[in-house]
Structure 1
Amino acid sequence: MDAADVVASLLILGIIIVSLLSNVVVLICFLYNPEIRKQVPALFILNLSFCNLLQSVSNMPLTLFGLVTSGHPGGSGFCQIVGFLDTFLTTNSMLSMAALSIDRWVAVVFPLSYHSRIRHRDAVLALAYTWIHSMCFSAVATCRSWLGYNHLYASCTLCSVRAKAAGKQFIVFTVALHCLTFLLTLIVMCVTYLKVLKVARSHCKRIDVITMQTLVLLVDIHPSVRQKCLEEQKRRRQRATKKISTFIGTFVVCFTPYVITRIVELFSPGPINPHWGVFSKCLAYSKAASDPFVYSLLRYQYRKTCSLLANKALKRSSLNSSSTRVENKARTTAVTCNATVSIQPPTTQPMKAIICRDVYQAQDGRLTSL
């Protein structure tokens, strides 16, 4: 093994560990929290996590084994099974991301009719399509014996060497596979998320107008409170853009090098650097490790569930209950004090800060669905 193979092996090992832990946590949160199970997007996230987890225990370890031993991981039949899983799971995960983007688009653009447009039955039908779509391409590649160990990627996947006899058929199949998975998903994500971003910016403008009207009414508001409200405006304008950029950016960065390498491999007269092939495969694997954080674990409900599970595992439930009682008592005392103080005209600045905060919270409902 040279230095590049050692780095690639360590990278894949890290991806396996992060992917296993993060996707298992997502599955545990889904099983533990009934509120998450009631949400339609949770079904797409569950399917995505299942595909990522299965890829972490099947394809990634064999790629690591191929890099370490520089040999064929198992027999031909075993490698075809792993190649079938590689094509199926990658295609399924991409289509799940497209389904998630459509769900977010409906939730933000049509919030009042979301529950009538997107139901659990519709989500199950969408997932059934992703499975059938992925199964068809994987079955065709298996039946045509186009799956095998590809030294360029050090993994069991579509193998151009085995498909040389097929000629144009394999080229058409590979191009169709990536057009109907990667390119289709990218187009759907760009269209839907840009629509979502447009609506989010419109909501931010409304919030800014209402906030400025509130600040005009509170003519004697303290400068620090005014500055805080203006900073809140800026933060809300940037939040939607960052989320959309994360959704689309991680997909493009992780999958584009691998897909381009696949297409170039079909038409390139000379060999491709194997280090680049392994690196592009590592980037594709890294999507399985980043998906739990992009789509679920950084959201409030998942973070809250993880916190509850951690406290339960550490046997801190009694400590939490006592602290909750103390907080409730302190909150009751604070409310009583604020009610008493608010009667006196000279101390109106804290109440104006609360009004400014509540205006944001009341008008920011749709943006939180991102």
Structure 2
Amino acid sequence: MNSTLDGDQSSHSFCLLALGYSETVGFCLLEALVVVFLTTLIISGNIIVIFVFHCAPLLNHHTTSYFIQTMAYADLLVGVSCLVPSLSLLHYPLPMEEAMTCQVFGFVISVLKSVSMTSLACISIDRYIAITKPLTYNTLVTPWRLRLCIFLIWLYSILVFLPAFFPWGKPGYHGDVFQWCAVSWHTNLYFTLFIMVMLYAPAALIVCFTYFNIFRICQQHTKEISKRQARFNSRNEETAESQTCPDKRYAMVLFRITSVFYVLWLPYILYFLLESSTGCSSHLASFLTTWLAISNSFCNCIIYSLSNSVFQRGLKGLSGAVCTSCTSHTTAKDPYTVRWKGPLNGCCI
């Protein structure tokens, strides 16, 4: 396979799964269906999450909502960015030449997923501070500091992947839906190690350290209170746990989100490191690990809807408001029909 394709050719439809095969129609159709389907799910799911957060004030009770909404916006932008390969696979011409399209798309996706990963690490730090320093938490974690932290997250993510525009190599496989990315733009071991050291490894270590200590502290407190209350036989262990460590349940939701994130991203990271170090590559492995990782942008929505009771109430209220609005437009004839009033304060449907 020639690795020096002309980077100045215009962007055109390219099927990574069909590379090297004579029969390409089935592979191209499968790739297009996967990319378009995930793009649709990511955009629609995160729009709902952002809207529910905007309309349900109770979700803003925790300071982690700053980071969660940052993740939701980053995931939404991931979906919007995925319109680029979707349009390419659907044979829509793209205005930029292929090499530039490939680099910009790969850089943008890498930055957005870095924002999600760094936000998860910051969420774990926030919960760790809340449990270890409950009396001084409000003075340590202020809205101004949270906004500054979010700004630094975006700035740091941009700086880590900025060398992708220089001869440092490929920052990931997100752009391999374009032929120049798959054939002419190669990974570099040193750049890969740089990303691992600056982003992946620190984020994973922070998450493991903070959540391990969070659950250890909660477990210790629960046992101590249970022993004291067992003498009076007035409260059970579950009640003691809820009173001793009220943030544990919320931390569990965040822990599930973090766990799913790393489970979906681990194959991508391992393949990224393996290919960079050995030079062995597989188009199928590249495609599967990349879009498995990108699918995490939609999985967060599922975890919220199944795990967070406050989010569930906000989503039900939003659904009720939409249904009521549709019904009022189609069946209500009384101009003085009472508008629906639910938990979505300040939200007009």
- How far is 1:101 from its partner? 0.9
Equivalent in 183, 202, 225 of residue 201 of structure 2: 183
CA contact (8 A) 1:152 1:277 kept: no
Deviation of 1:251 after TM superposition, in Å, equals 2.5
**Bigger mean CA offset, 259-268 vs 288-297:** 288-297
Q: Which residue is 2:47 aligned to?
A: 24
Which of 315, 321, 325 aligns to 1:306? It is 315
**Among 213, 227, 239, which residue is 1:195 paired with?**
213
The answer (yes or no) to whether the contact 2:222–2:241 under 8 Å persists in 1 is no
| Distance change >3 Å, CA 210–CA 308, structure 1 → 2 | farther
Which residue number corresponds to residue 91 of structure 1?
114
User: What is the Cα deviation at residue 163 of structure 1?
Assistant: 5.2
Q: CA deviation at 1:88?
A: 1.3
Q: Which amino acid aligns with 1:251?
A: F
How has the CA–CA distance of structure 1 residues 95 and 242 changed in structure 2, closer, same or farther, with 3 Å as cutoff? Answer: closer
Partner of 1:105: 128
Match of 2:146 in 1: 123
Pairing 1:120-269 to 2, within 5 Å after superposition: 120-144=143-167, 146=169, 153-154=176-177, 161-162=184-185, 170-209=188-227, 212-215=230-233, 243=253, 246-269=256-279
Write the distance in 1 (CA, Å) between the matches of 2:206 and 2:239: 31
1:6-25 aligned at under 5 Å gives the runs 9-25=32-48
Distance 1:72 1:183, change over 3 A: farther
Question: In structure 2, do the counterparts of structure 1 residues 295 and 321 end up closer, same or farther at CA, with 3 Å as the change threshold?
Answer: closer
Provide the C-alpha distance between the structure 2 equivalents of 1:64 and 1:257, rounded to a whole number of angstroms.
23
Q: Please report how far the alpha carbon of residue 198 of structure 1 lies from its aligned counterpart in structure 2 after TM superposition.
A: 0.6
* SS of corresponding position for 2:295: helix
Task: State the distance in 1 between where 2:307 and 2:169 align.
Answer: 39
State whether residues 149 and 155 of structure 1, in contact with CA within 8 Å, keep that contact through their aligned partners in structure 2.
no
Distance 1:319 1:72, change over 3 A: closer
Alpha-carbon distance in 1 for matches of 2:59, 2:341:
23
- Superposed CA offset, 1:34-86 (max 9, x none): 4444642111111111110001111x3344556677x9996222332212211
Q: Distance in 1 between matches of 2:217 and 2:285?
A: 40
Map of 1:39-54 to 2, 5 A cutoff? Answer: 39-54=62-77
Deviation at residue 160 of structure 1 after TM alignment: 8.3
> 1:272-287 maps to which residues of 2 (within 5 A)?
272-287=281-296
Could you tell me how far 1:161 is from its partner in structure 2?
A: 3.6
Asked if the contact 1:102/1:192 (under 8 Å) is kept, the reply is yes
Q: Given that residues 147 and 156 in structure 1 are in contact (C-alpha distance below 8 angstroms), is that contact kept between their aligned partners in structure 2?
A: no
In the other structure, the counterpart of 2:97 is 75
Q: Which runs of 5+ in 1 are unaligned?
A: 165-169, 219-228, 323-370
Larger Cα Rg: Structure 1 or Structure 2?
1
Offset of 1:29 from its aligned partner? 2.2
Letter in 1 for 2:114: T
In 2, distance between residues paired with 1:119 and 1:156? 47
CA–CA separation in structure 1 for the residues paired with 2:61 and 2:136: 17
Please state how far the C-alpha of 1:306 moved relative to its aligned partner: 1.8
- Tell me the amino acid that sits aligned with residue 308 of structure 2: R
User: Which structure has more helix as a fraction of its residues?
Assistant: 1
For structure 2, the 5+ residue unaligned runs are 1-23, 326-336, 343-349
The code of the aligned residue for 2:322 comes to A
Q: Distance in 2 between matches of 1:286 and 1:150?
A: 14
Among the aligned pairs, what percent are the same residue? 19
TM-score when scaled to structure 1?
Answer: 0.68
1:90 offset after TM fit, Å? 1.6
Q: Is the 8 A contact 2:265 2:292 kept in 1?
A: yes
Could you tell me whether the CA contact under 8 Å between 1:83 and 1:148 is conserved in 2?
yes
In 2, Cα distance between the equivalents of 1:240 and 1:203? 17
Query: Cα 1:273–1:212, aligned 2, differ >3 Å: closer, same or farther?
Result: same
Q: Secondary structure at the match of 1:314?
A: helix
Answer whether contact 2:321 2:340 (CA < 8 A) is retained.
no
* Aligned partner letter, 2:71: L
